[in-house]
Structure 1
């Protein structure tokens, strides 16, 4: 079967090349349409689907055909007739006609109508296919047909058309369609390349008889028949919107589309679009214009807080949404949502939420998401339902309402059983001062609300006085005299049982209200007075001198430390090849490894006071050197006996910032072969984790030398510097690998 396919494909290729070479002089080239009355044509997605008849003028089209090719026409009109002139013979039809060219030539189609009407038709100008007649085995090598891929959903799906079907482009000859003819009622098989996560969409546009589409999936070894099929027991009317079928594939391989019909010479055309899966999970921090569009399954994450609700609008197709909420750092699975097209579904998050993850499940979906903030008085918080229990309670969760303010909007969100809002207000004044404050409540449902104000004792946090009012004369107003400090006001429902019969999170309309406040000072109280004390003045002067002297101590200590470090640096400069000297002392027994490590640590502190060239001379010839216009790096291998930890490899690295300002800088020790390195110890002390040492901020002319102990079984290491230079992400990698295979014992 492979041999015959290859032979047929070679013959077709030869014929195609010959036709291209003769296109300018031969009348028998590729099929090309000539529409004589373009102005009366009716177009749909770039395809001519009919014309407006005036009862007088004809509608004609002509194109070229090659011997053996087929054409097919389906008409939809009241008083029209189509005539084909092919091979010197006229064929007439008023409904449907399919015929085959016996010679090369031009087809002339003329459609006439005796009355003014919209004449619709579906025309396949050329059917020239060579599909397989026998289903291939999974391991058989075959030619795969090209199918249009919908890469950008917004470009091939338009919900304003009333559906979420993919939009093809062009005539039936475009890659948006597959066409064929089932000669002698023999089934045909069309192989299509499939990638993991693809969804294959098929919609029948043209069929002159009963037709069935079924789909197999094949990988290299196995074959699976998908359960769903698309079947028509009758011909498809012209330009009718028939059922759409979606097949999803979890794995990569090839799909084998089987087309069969019990009728003789059934001509067909089907829209075939592949929808690839989304590889990246979108993370939304901005809630404006969120659209989730896709097939089978779409996942996204949305940043959200506990006072933001989300409205889900499903366009044309109902969906199921699985939700997980990130609450206090832990993912919690919520109940699934079934979002229909009838109206929006409102979702309310759990308290302390910071993000939600959505998995939208359906064959095809377009979800519009809008966010609503239901925080109280624009505080970004949902006001608690009760006041703090004691003075020690952290009251930062209670929104602060100003003592004098115009009406502020708030609501009792009944969907989350929010039946009361408690606000704090703070009075500033002197001891024994007296103040009066008034709160006014406005809204359309005041008959369901009451307003309470509490004057709180600032020592024991007990209630000193309170006022509570309900609707009277069209408003709710409460006035109370309070002292200085923190006090509270509450807006609550009168009958919580009747208003919270819904389950938590089930959407019900909230009770909106406006709250305003006004304030007046009655008595300013006693102004505090603290006379000066002679002893306090005397000891204050002494304390200032003593503390001033203490502030100078760090300066003196730093000066002494700097002088010692400078002296050590000069001594180090005088002793070149310092690393070699340490090794010789270890070999001769003049120093123990512990003493040598201590000497090396002191040298690492002091060497920073030397310039870069002097420091390199002091250590000895580096094993690796790297220099750019901005930084210079040097690497030395160190005797293993200088390592603090056993079975580790010590390395010394120097970094010199020539130009620029580095922040978030880190050295990375990468293993080119084998398991990754692990940093076990750093001298001087720097933060490290895994294979990285964090150097943080390094300014112009900064010089840093560190000894790093690496644990791992690799024989070499690559060293690179990562960070941000002058605010831009930058990296520098020494191009030469440092090998430990030839290190001396």
Structure 2
């Protein structure tokens, strides 16, 4: 058979597109499938054009109440006109543009149909296998225009991907139009217009035989009329169109659709609309608790199949034309809907009924040997304080759910657990305590009762560990004696858990393991050595200080030696550092020995509670002040607290303490020594600044919480006679 390419069909289709223009008085132009609805005011004019070549026949149809319609060719010659409507079928002798003009006498709406034939008529009826011109129908694709009514599904008459035949027939003149497809396909035949009654015969031909598929008599009241038939790859469809009246104009559209692939889908808020052709499918990923709620349109038939272990399985009630819920079989990972009828349209909603929102269905029986159940089961643990939702799906023969809950507590503790049920009908509720030692059911505390589901509760005492709650239908046999996938109602329920402690039990003690004991001993030895490091350091420092103190005890007039070394050019910083080190060492000596090691004091004072002495140091040792002094204090048999050393100027301006070593707090003319314990010795260097050359040394503090003070009887001269 000869086949025309899809490119030629597209060119003819583009030539058939009407182009419209309107006056300013036209109010509105809308589309109603293949027709235009023009709303015009009185006196308004609306026009449109249609391009035709010499091989095409055009159809011009106008339906209105009192409008004036006319058709002109490119030269302006009127081909036809009419008042109150127009129906013209015309084939031009040469290619050109025809213009349809509508003038509104009163305000009204006019329905306009313009079509150009894209299919070629053959002059005589061809025999099977005869080589004649045949239109190759291009298959529709996903998203192409469809019209879904309340009664059926068919091609939208305004879809521009369809092939169109415009014929002029009568009782003595028959039109023959042939169409074929490259692959097996569903073919829609849509009769869009007939000016009077027509007879339509649909014949299927192959290379050897022909079969009459349908013989139809159609009036204008039957239009638009849609018919679908299956066309194999080695067949062609022939339309025989006859009229019952002279010059009967008719327009028929044909379109092909694939018999495989995926159906189209249009997403909605709570569901989606699927539209497809016979043989097409739609696949959904599911698990054991998922279901599809399918609501097919009239005339739609689906088959539901389940993918289980790599094989598509159908149940006994797989096909349906009525609304139904398709529950996934156990172990299914996908559901497939296959369109069985020639066309299919349905609303599909994916729903699920998992327990505890886990995506799984809870186990329905009690098996204490099942470790998985006691470790949370397929749906997980019930919250010890809180609520959880579940479902008993009668359609999947789900008549009971068993949930574990865990109590983490001490040994021999006792807990009170209350379970409250909310549901739409009475159910059987069981509380199953498990002995944590034996792993068996504690029958003395086990409780079961039929509860109304309106907030009624059941309580029991439990020990530590995992325990079970079981909820089931009151009459499960009614469901178990039925069939899988029935439309029985699903029972939704809510469990509320409340927990209280009756007895806390005994706090556990755990023997450390061998590894912990070994590493514990090692860590203790390591930490012990680490703690001894500061002790060793302090012992070494104390030994060095003792050696230095013994050395200083053997020396006399150390201050004179310092001056001599400075005179010899020894660095002042080095001498100052040695002096500061000696302060701490000398403090370990007896006060008298310490004073002798420094040399004769420039000032000395002694009482029963306190003794102190002062020495002038070489000014070269000063770093922050004008004068530097060495002061030693020795507490008597009692401790001095809140002790302060004051350098009071008897005449003139006061002196200011600039630096103290060791670093005691100081302010103005005071140095704050804090506590001097009984029998201890303190030596410090003090740098003073000021113009005064005399200072009185005064010590203030608390002895046994009583104020005490000691003041030298004579002032200390800050400048020696030699320096003066």
* Superposition TM-score, scaled by structure 2 size: 0.59
The Cα shift of 1:304 comes to 1.9
Where do residues 451-466 of structure 1 align in structure 2 (5 Å cutoff)? 451-458=429-436, 459=438, 461-464=440-443, 465-466=445-446
Q: Residues 107 and 379 (structure 1 numbering): CA distance in 2 closer, same or farther, change over 3 Å?
A: closer
The Cα shift of 1:407 comes to 1.5
| 2: CA distance, partners of 1:128 / 1:398 | 62
| 2: CA distance, partners of 1:31 / 1:274 | 20
Residue 489 of structure 2 is aligned to residue 509 of structure 1: yes
Q: Residues 354 and 72 (structure 1 numbering): CA distance in 2 closer, same or farther, change over 3 Å?
A: closer
The Cα shift of 1:462 comes to 3.5
1:212 to 196, 199, 215: 199
Q: Residues 118 and 91 (structure 1 numbering): CA distance in 2 closer, same or farther, change over 3 Å?
A: closer
| 2: CA distance, partners of 1:484 / 1:128 | 83
| 2: CA distance, partners of 1:412 / 1:309 | 14
The Cα shift of 1:184 comes to 6.5
Where do residues 16-165 of structure 1 align in structure 2 (5 Å cutoff)? 35-37=21-23, 39-40=26-27, 42-44=29-31, 49-61=36-48, 72-83=59-70, 91-92=81-82, 94=84, 97-98=87-88, 109-112=100-103, 114-124=105-115, 131-147=121-137, 149-152=139-142, 154-157=143-146, 159=148, 164-165=153-154
The Cα shift of 1:266 comes to 2.0
Residue 321 of structure 2 is aligned to residue 347 of structure 1: no
| 2: CA distance, partners of 1:537 / 1:456 | 35
1:255 to 237, 240, 256: 237
| 2: CA distance, partners of 1:414 / 1:118 | 57
Query: What SS does structure 2 have at the residue aligned with 1:377?
Result: helix
The Cα shift of 1:451 comes to 2.5
Residue 204 of structure 2 is aligned to residue 179 of structure 1: no
Query: What SS does structure 2 have at the residue aligned with 1:251?
Result: coil
Contact 2:368 2:439 in 1 (8 A): no
Q: Residues 515 and 120 (structure 1 numbering): CA distance in 2 closer, same or farther, change over 3 Å?
A: same
| 2: CA distance, partners of 1:282 / 1:37 | 40
Contact 1:320 1:336 in 2 (8 A): no
Where do residues 616-631 of structure 1 align in structure 2 (5 Å cutoff)? none
Q: Residues 333 and 264 (structure 1 numbering): CA distance in 2 closer, same or farther, change over 3 Å?
A: same
Q: Residues 355 and 448 (structure 1 numbering): CA distance in 2 closer, same or farther, change over 3 Å?
A: same
Contact 1:452 1:491 in 2 (8 A): yes
The Cα shift of 1:489 comes to 0.8
Q: Residues 81 and 162 (structure 1 numbering): CA distance in 2 closer, same or farther, change over 3 Å?
A: farther
Q: Residues 391 and 514 (structure 1 numbering): CA distance in 2 closer, same or farther, change over 3 Å?
A: closer
The Cα shift of 1:269 comes to 1.1
**1:334 alignment partner in structure 2:** 315
**2:603 alignment partner in structure 1:** none
Q: Max radius of gyration: which structure?
A: 2
**1:419 alignment partner in structure 2:** 399
The Cα shift of 1:98 comes to 3.6
| 2: CA distance, partners of 1:193 / 1:305 | 43
The Cα shift of 1:497 comes to 6.3
| 1: CA distance, partners of 2:190 / 2:21 | 26
Where do residues 574-723 of structure 1 align in structure 2 (5 Å cutoff)? none
**2:183 alignment partner in structure 1:** 196
Query: What SS does structure 2 have at the residue aligned with 1:209?
Result: coil
**1:578 alignment partner in structure 2:** none
2:460 to 480, 483, 498: 480
| 2: CA distance, partners of 1:57 / 1:147 | 40
Deviations 1:66-93 (A, max 9, x none): 8898655444333345455675676535
Query: What SS does structure 2 have at the residue aligned with 1:78?
Result: strand
Gaps of 5+ in 1: 7-12, 18-28, 542-745
| 2: CA distance, partners of 1:66 / 1:529 | 101
Residue 156 of structure 2 is aligned to residue 167 of structure 1: yes
| 1: CA distance, partners of 2:133 / 2:194 | 25
The Cα shift of 1:521 comes to 3.6
**1:520 alignment partner in structure 2:** 500
Contact 1:390 1:461 in 2 (8 A): no
| 1: CA distance, partners of 2:79 / 2:90 | 12
| 2: CA distance, partners of 1:94 / 1:416 | 64
Where do residues 238-277 of structure 1 align in structure 2 (5 Å cutoff)? 242-277=224-259
Contact 1:376 1:410 in 2 (8 A): yes
Where do residues 341-490 of structure 1 align in structure 2 (5 Å cutoff)? 344-388=323-367, 390=369, 397=377, 399-443=379-423, 445=424, 447-458=425-436, 459=438, 461-464=440-443, 465-471=445-451, 475-490=455-470
The Cα shift of 1:295 comes to 0.9
Deviates more, 1:109-118 or 1:452-461: 109-118
| 2: CA distance, partners of 1:442 / 1:434 | 27
Q: Residues 259 and 391 (structure 1 numbering): CA distance in 2 closer, same or farther, change over 3 Å?
A: closer
**2:527 alignment partner in structure 1:** none
Query: What SS does structure 2 have at the residue aligned with 1:79?
Result: strand
Q: Residues 36 and 247 (structure 1 numbering): CA distance in 2 closer, same or farther, change over 3 Å?
A: same
Equivalenced residues, count: 502
The Cα shift of 1:479 comes to 1.9
Gaps of 5+ in 2: 522-724
Deviations 1:356-378 (A, max 9, x none): 33322122123343221211111
**2:606 alignment partner in structure 1:** none
Deviates more, 1:332-341 or 1:193-202: 332-341
Query: What SS does structure 2 have at the residue aligned with 1:150?
Result: coil
Residue 305 of structure 2 is aligned to residue 324 of structure 1: yes
Residue 295 of structure 2 is aligned to residue 295 of structure 1: no
* Superposition TM-score, scaled by structure 1 size: 0.57
| 2: CA distance, partners of 1:280 / 1:440 | 47
Contact 1:281 1:301 in 2 (8 A): no
| 2: CA distance, partners of 1:455 / 1:224 | 78
| 2: CA distance, partners of 1:102 / 1:412 | 72
Contact 1:41 1:48 in 2 (8 A): no
The Cα shift of 1:270 comes to 1.6
Contact 1:248 1:296 in 2 (8 A): no
Deviations 1:545-574 (A, max 9, x none): xxxxxxxxxxxxxxxxxxxxxxxxxxxxxx
| 2: CA distance, partners of 1:34 / 1:329 | 57
Contact 1:422 1:488 in 2 (8 A): yes
The Cα shift of 1:308 comes to 0.9
Query: What SS does structure 1 have at the residue aligned with 2:144?
Result: helix
Contact 1:195 1:276 in 2 (8 A): no
- Root-mean-square deviation (CA, aligned residues, Å) is 4.6
The Cα shift of 1:227 comes to 2.4
Residue 209 of structure 2 is aligned to residue 223 of structure 1: yes
Contact 1:456 1:487 in 2 (8 A): yes
Query: What SS does structure 2 have at the residue aligned with 1:415?
Result: helix
**1:557 alignment partner in structure 2:** none
| 2: CA distance, partners of 1:366 / 1:30 | 31
